[in-house]
């Protein structure tokens, strides 16, 4: 129930077959220190038992007509929300107890803010996979390193005034893997977006290497049209040093066949690999501090493969833009819209 004099916050949890983590997410929301909170699960036609999990915890559940993706689920939740603030939380994220209170305080203190985004803690929600440990450390590092004003939206854990959401419009339901970049493109034309360590939580990351490599490949590929239209990339992809490291890792792999020409040519992929590793020295120091030297060796190997997948995704994305007008114009609707009306206090 709403607390006296406090804005009501609607925590919106999009869900599709996250039975395993959903209970942790919802219990974390129910344990928030902020008293004026309603929780909404927007279910995208799950086929597992996650709807039963939500109902057993007394949480309201709304359903999309058919499975349509996370953007449609978020939009459905927003349509049913009564709150003055919308707090989007993915169903594999467990926010810290003060996450909602921190979000409300930050938004209330700065009317120029259109949204605030949280960061991941370095330990996964469910610790059952070394790949999760890698992914969690990687995300935790770059999210914390990029804390401050950002040009995207970290949709896994973010809050915005309901009035801003109504002004900017719903999430683009036609996009997969890149809806956060597209929404960030729109909201940053009228407001500031801030990433902050004051909002944090644990994330149940993907637990297999194949899923991680597929995800980073496709996320990079699908962000290429945004780069071509805006001459810039959001969030994780924006760092030119990181991008050069990914390119060097891919070139190292592609030049390994030179060994068949002459053994001394092994130096070429060796130098390229060394360059790829050198671009991420800060994150390697962070991993060593957090997990020790033995896990660092594992992290180096997986991170190199991830960098190869990122660079390959960029190459494929560029090729798709060259041959497909439809792919090239993925973000045309967003970039072609008039800028939203800037309300009082907006940047």
Same domain, 241 and 199: no
Enclosing H/E stretch for 63? strand 60-63
Q: Within a domain: residue 293?
A: yes
Same domain, 161 and 82: yes
Same domain, 38 and 179: yes
Q: Tell me how crowded residue 260 is: count the other CB atoms within 10 A of its CB.
A: 8
The residue written with tokens 């053994």 in the block is 263
Helix runs in 31-129, H state only? 50-56, 70-80, 99-109
The residue written with tokens 């960030």 in the block is 184
Same domain, 191 and 262: no
Residues 6+ apart with CB under 8 A from 295: 133, 287
Q: Within a domain: residue 324?
A: yes
Token output for 178:
């890149």
Q: Within a domain: residue 295?
A: yes
Q: Quote the pLDDT of residue 241.
A: 58
Same domain, 24 and 165: yes
Same domain, 53 and 147: yes
Torsion sign across C-alpha atoms 66, 69, 71, 74 = positive
Domain hosting 321: range is: 235-334
Terminal CA-CA length for the chain: 33
Same domain, 161 and 300: no
Same domain, 145 and 271: no
Q: Within a domain: residue 65?
A: yes
Q: Quote the pLDDT of residue 141.
A: 93
pTM: 0.85
- Alpha-carbon Rg for the chain, nearest whole angstrom, is 21
CA distance 257 to 223: 30
Q: Within a domain: residue 107?
A: yes
DSSP of 267-320: HHHHHHHHHHHHTTHHHHHHHHHHH-HHHHHHHHHHHHHHHHHHHHHHHHHHHH
Residue 106: C-alpha distances to residues 81, 144, 189, 291, 340 (Å)? 21, 17, 20, 32, 22
Q: Within a domain: residue 229?
A: no
Q: Quote the pLDDT of residue 254.
A: 76
Q: Quote the pLDDT of residue 345.
A: 31
In order along its 347 residues, the chain shows pLDDT tens digits of 344 579 999 999 999 999 999 999 999 999 999 999 999 999 999 999 999 999 999 999 999 999 999 999 999 999 999 999 999 999 999 999 999 999 999 999 999 999 999 999 999 999 999 999 999 999 999 899 889 999 889 999 999 999 999 999 999 988 877 788 889 889 998 999 999 999 999 999 889 999 999 999 998 888 888 777 664 444 444 555 566 777 777 777 777 777 677 777 677 777 777 777 888 889 999 999 999 999 999 999 999 899 889 889 989 998 998 898 888 777 665 555 544 333 333 32
- Phi first, then psi, for residue 234 (nearest 5°) are -85, 155
**∠ Cα 78 19 68 (to 5°):** 45
Same domain, 176 and 105: yes
How many structural domains does the chain have? 2
Using the 3D structure, point to which of 205, 227, 262 is the last residue of a domain. 205
Q: Within a domain: residue 197?
A: yes
Residue pair 129/207 in contact (Cβ under 8 Å)? The answer is yes
CA distance 289 to 48: 39
């Amino acid at each position: 129930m709403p607390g006296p004099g406090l804005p009501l916050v609607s925590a919106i949890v999009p869900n599709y077959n996250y039975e395993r983590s959903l209970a942790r997410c919802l219990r974390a929301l129910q344990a928030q220190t902020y008293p004026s909170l309603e929780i909404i699960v927007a279910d995208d036609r799950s086929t597992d038992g996650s709807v039963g999990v939500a109902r057993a915890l007394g949480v309201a559940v709304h359903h999309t007509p058919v499975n349509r993706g996370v953007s449609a689920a978020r939009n459905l939740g927003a349509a049913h929300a009564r709150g003055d603030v919308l707090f989007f939380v993915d169903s594999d994220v467990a926010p810290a107890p003060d996450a909602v209170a921190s979000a409300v305080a930050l938004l209330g203190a700065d009317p120029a803010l259109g949204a605030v985004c949280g960061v991941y803690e370095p330990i996964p929600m469910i610790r059952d996979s070394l790949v999760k440990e890698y992914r969690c450390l990687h995300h935790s590092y770059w999210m914390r390193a990029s804390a401050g004003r950002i040009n995207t939206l970290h949709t896994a854990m973010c809050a915005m005034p309901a009035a801003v959401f109504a002004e900017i419009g719903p999430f683009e339901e036609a996009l997969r893997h890149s809806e956060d970049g597209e929404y960030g493109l729109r909201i940053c034309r009228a407001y500031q977006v801030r990433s902050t360590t004051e909002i944090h939580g644990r994330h149940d990351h993907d637990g297999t290497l194949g899923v991680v490599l597929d995800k980073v490949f496709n996320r990079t590929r699908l962000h290429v049209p945004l780069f071509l239209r805006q001459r810039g990339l959001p969030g994780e992809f924006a760092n030119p040093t990181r991008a050069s490291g990914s390119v060097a890792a891919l070139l190292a792999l592609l030049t390994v066949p030179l060994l068949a020409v002459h053994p001394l040519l092994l130096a070429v992929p060796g130098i390229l690999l060394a360059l790829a590793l050198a671009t991420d020295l800060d994150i390697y120091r962070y991993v060593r501090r957090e997990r020790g030297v033995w896990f660092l060796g594992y992290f180096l190997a997986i991170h190199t493969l991830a960098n190869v997948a990122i660079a390959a995704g960029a190459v494929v994305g560029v090729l798709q833009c060259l041959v497909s007008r439809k792919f090239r114009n993925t973000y045309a609707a967003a970039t072609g819209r008039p800028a939203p009306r800037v309300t009082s206090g907006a940047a």
